Structure 1
């Protein structure tokens, strides 16, 4: 009995001593101030490093990483490279989270700390690098101000003084593609050997750009097919008559640089409407009932007639055209194209299969129209007019009581009328291919004006009355 009692007391003592030893071991394990065994942080084997040293080394490494430079090159900006730190580019990391896990080993009960240490043993902890998009965008906008504000410039068709056609290609505008830059930066960091405490040479990157194309590009202009001058015609206008010069100049400016698409119809009535809206018309003689009378817009038909001749020489299709009731001074009879608001118009069709550019100029009393486009270079056109018949000028008698009885005085010599045919001759390599009748035009004779005193049987004008339309202008003598 005494022996049993001694053995029981001894077991209790050994149990107490064993428990005391386990607690001591737990305390030793839980209160270690080093990184648990097998911990790796993005390739850095941190096992056995003091917790304080771990924190300092990781913070220093991330700080050094923030100072790492990236050399960004923007090709359209002249190829000049700009170096920026990762911090400037918005570097962010989870270093604080990793440090917090290790710092947690210093607090809590022995059991909690031991459990956490066991959990962290043989753990691979990745240093995650991200970039703040707002910071990156702000840095980009401040660094490349001119590039970020660049606007596209339209391509431009240039016609030289020698009538050669070339294209200035214009240029794109650009914006930095921040999303693509983020993708390029993500996944590249941290770099290899990032814990060695050594800055790498600036890392080269091409700055990703988004091109903003102009509305008019070199490709769109080339696609229009305007490659050369295909026709030209000039007429002369008098130096006097400010109203007429203004009207001719204004209508020519409206036509200048007009672009007609394939199968497009040129409508002179629309030119007149636009010209009056933009510039207005001034007083100048117009044709009314076969006579020159004061009016507004006189001279506008010199533009349509000059253009008409260029159109004939370019081989274009005439849709609508009428001659004046009287011959005009600036073109040969048969080669004029008049306009009467609401009655007579001038239209032609661009049947070249390509765009047609119309250019006008006024210099030293000459109005010139040039057509640019694309037609077969071996095809040319010649325009020929033939006077088929002259119509005799009638006499018009007016009473003059101051004359003696039976006396006649010619006040104004009349002019005969004309019947004129116009032909367009098509040639290939200088050889006639075809000859087509373009028009058959009649010009009314202008009567001889004779003053008499007496009962003359021929008093008045024996010509048929002309239609009451205003030609070569927009308003007649009652415009005020």
Structure 2
């Protein structure tokens, strides 16, 4: 497989992941109905807003990134998650190809910031992940970024990001409540923000608390480079009707962001 073109390898890997999802039973519970007109979803369970970074001197790259995010949002906004139903990022969002309408946007390759078709989708998945996490959804599959590429200018809290790569990394969550949910996702170009929220027909029955703690700072290769991190993220919940009870842990993960040489901004296309 190593001698196959990267695009073909990604397609084969995605087909294998689809087969695994079928075997796990996930495919039988995928959410597929989008309904933005139903006014019964009037209780907000969570909302996350992340800023869209504008790269000075690269107007076309900024425009393409925004385009890609808005294209993906069209297939997610208004998605209904009935009890037990699953949100699968690559089940909702088309493969990022030119034929599917995607453009070249910023993408990390090693420690270089380059452009590739579909660049920008990780901000969609990260913003959605945080909204779903705060809405107490069950996290079935999620990956953190391999490096902390932007340091203090990152748009997410360490331990609360979710990267996606077609055929390799996915974001899959499940509505484990007995109440139907609606996902809302807006990419607002004029405000340069992505807004993800979860709404329901009833109030959120639990209180949610999330902590992300840096356990260890991993030394950078040199004084001019970027350090790494070991981060522990825990979600605690308790019933609102029983506020004096102890918090219960229902999500726990350890993420490693590897130290790396300082990011180089190339923004040339990734070679095929």
TM-score in terms of structure 2 length: 0.71
Contact map agreement 2:128 2:196 (CA 8 A) in 1 = yes
Contact map agreement 1:391 1:416 (CA 8 A) in 2 = yes
Provide Cα deviations, 1:50-103, integer angstroms capped at 9, x if missing partner: xxxxxxxxxxxxxxxxxxxxxxxxxxxxxxxxxxxxxxxxxxxxxxxxxxxxxx
Equivalent of 2:53 in 238, 241, 244 = 238
The answer for the alignment partner of 1:386 in structure 2 is 213
Equivalent of 2:168 in 332, 343, 349 = 343
Q: CA deviation at 1:425?
A: 1.9
Contact map agreement 1:290 1:444 (CA 8 A) in 2 = no
Q: Which structure: greater helix fraction?
A: 1
The answer for the alignment partner of 2:271 in structure 1 is 478
* Structure 2, unpaired ranges of 5+: 1-34, 56-61, 264-268
The answer for the alignment partner of 1:416 in structure 2 is 227
Equivalent of 1:373 in 200, 205, 210 = 200
Q: CA deviation at 1:276?
A: 5.2
The answer for the alignment partner of 1:58 in structure 2 is none
SS in 2 for 1:447: coil
SS in 1 for 2:230: strand
SS in 2 for 1:360: strand
The answer for the alignment partner of 2:6 in structure 1 is none
The answer for the alignment partner of 1:255 in structure 2 is 76
The answer for the alignment partner of 2:27 in structure 1 is none
Q: Distance in 2 between matches of 1:379 and 1:315?
A: 8
Q: Distance in 1 between matches of 2:91 and 2:99?
A: 12
Contact map agreement 2:46 2:198 (CA 8 A) in 1 = yes
- 1:432-443 aligned within 5 A: 432-443=246-257
Equivalent of 1:295 in 98, 108, 116 = 116
Equivalent of 2:43 in 206, 211, 228 = 228
SS in 2 for 1:394: coil
Q: Distance in 2 between matches of 1:359 and 1:277?
A: 26
SS in 1 for 2:158: coil
Contact map agreement 1:262 1:355 (CA 8 A) in 2 = yes
Q: Distance in 1 between matches of 2:123 and 2:161?
A: 8
SS in 2 for 1:248: helix
SS in 2 for 1:414: coil
- 1:268-283 aligned within 5 A: 268-273=89-94, 280-283=101-104
Q: CA deviation at 1:281?
A: 1.5
Q: Distance in 1 between matches of 2:95 and 2:218?
A: 38
The answer for the alignment partner of 2:182 in structure 1 is 357
Q: Distance in 2 between matches of 1:377 and 1:478?
A: 47
Q: Higher relative contact order by CA 8 Å / sep ≥ 6: 1 or 2? A: 2
User: CA 1:288 to 1:348, structure 2 compared with 1: closer, same or farther past 3 Å?
Assistant: same
Provide Cα deviations, 1:8-46, integer angstroms capped at 9, x if missing partner: xxxxxxxxxxxxxxxxxxxxxxxxxxxxxxxxxxxxxxx
Q: Distance in 1 between matches of 2:36 and 2:165?
A: 34
Provide Cα deviations, 1:109-157, integer angstroms capped at 9, x if missing partner: xxxxxxxxxxxxxxxxxxxxxxxxxxxxxxxxxxxxxxxxxxxxxxx86
SS in 2 for 1:285: strand
Provide Cα deviations, 1:211-269, integer angstroms capped at 9, x if missing partner: xxxxxxxxxxxxxxx45222211111124511111111211222111122321111111
The answer for the alignment partner of 1:142 in structure 2 is none
* C-alpha RMSD of the superposition: 2.6
Q: From the CA coordinates, give the structure whose radius of gyration is larger.
A: 1
Contact map agreement 1:251 1:275 (CA 8 A) in 2 = no
Q: Distance in 2 between matches of 1:394 and 1:371?
A: 41
